[in-house]
């Protein structure tokens, strides 16, 4: 899962934050994004809809799919908060 998190960090961090944002800010952006997707998941929004929203917003399809894998498959038993915390911790661990 660590490699997947790093891939997502690079994808979202580079597309969703300013050029001056640092790695910790990128981790925060990614974990917050995962949190929001997980909240949508928990109210019944499916991965297809989420994928379309992400790609329509400019995210590369491969990276959108990686996010969905984290939320809908590997983290499907975790709450949005648990996922956010796990992704942030994993991201920070990858930086060290």
pLDDT digits (tens, 9 = 90+) for 31-41: 988 998 999 89
The pLDDT value given to residue 25 = 83
SS (H, E, C) 24-78: HHHHHHHHHHHHHHHHHHHCCCCHHHHHHHHHHCCCCHHHHHHHHHHHHHHCCCC
The pLDDT value given to residue 14 = 44
Q: pTM for the full model?
A: 0.78
Task: Report the first-to-last Cα separation within the chain, whole angstroms.
Answer: 16
pLDDT digits (tens, 9 = 90+) for 50-68: 898 888 878 889 888 988 9
């Amino acid at each position: 899962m660590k490699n997947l998190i790093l891939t997502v960090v690079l994808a979202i961090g580079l597309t969703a934050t300013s050029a001056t944002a640092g790695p910790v800010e990128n981790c925060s952006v990614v974990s917050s994004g995962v949190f929001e997707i997980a909240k949508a998941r928990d109210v019944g929004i499916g991965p297809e809809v989420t994928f379309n929203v992400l790609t329509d917003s400019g995210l590369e399809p491969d990276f959108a799919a990686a996010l969905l894998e984290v939320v809908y498959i590997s983290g499907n038993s975790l709450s949005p908060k648990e996922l956010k915390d796990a992704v942030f911790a994993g991201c920070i661990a990858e930086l060290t």
